Amino acid sequence: MAETIFAKIIRKEIPAQIVFESDTVIAFKDINPQAPVHVLIIPKITEIESARDLDPGKHAKLLGELYDAANTIAKQLGVFESGFRLVLNSGADSGQEVPHIHIHLLGGRKMNWPPG
Ligand code: 5GP
């Protein structure tokens, strides 16, 4: 599998504004924010390209940790009460650009529906 920019961020080889880190999860501000709060939450393992590769037998705990991190970060960045959106793009039609599973946490403004 090709190396992504996120693998370099995990190894701290390129800078990122890290807002949360555990043994299994790291989260950092998106370089091109689409809302006042825009954080990417990713697993440190690099083998899951998108949600399509999730295996409940292998990844259930990790998925829980990713979404738990989202709540922690939302509280930390002050959008837990006002509300926030979690987006998990999977594949070409969704607009996914980086093939390393990641959850977008967006908040700090009113979101529109349907999404673009
Ligand atoms: P996707 O379109 O794959 O769901 O989202 C990838 C996201 O990664 C985009 O929102 C993009 O702005 C962000 N991104 C791409 N390269 C970098 C980078 O080097 N640093 C950071 N912090 N974000 C990045």
**pLDDT in 10s for each residue of the chain, 116 residues:** 678 999 999 999 999 999 999 999 999 999 999 999 999 999 999 999 999 999 999 999 999 999 999 999 999 999 999 999 999 999 999 999 999 999 999 999 999 999 98
Topology given in CATH for the domain delimited by 5-107: HIT family, subunit A (3.30.428)
Q: pTM value?
A: 0.98
Assess whether the C-beta atom of 28 lies below 6 angstroms from ligand 1.
Answer: yes
- Provide the 3-class DSSP secondary structure of residue 113: coil
Element holding 69 (H helix, E strand): helix 56-76
Q: Structure tokens of 11?
A: 């190894």
Assess whether the C-beta atom of 96 lies below 6 angstroms from ligand 1.
Answer: yes
Assess whether the C-beta atom of 95 lies below 6 angstroms from ligand 1.
Answer: yes
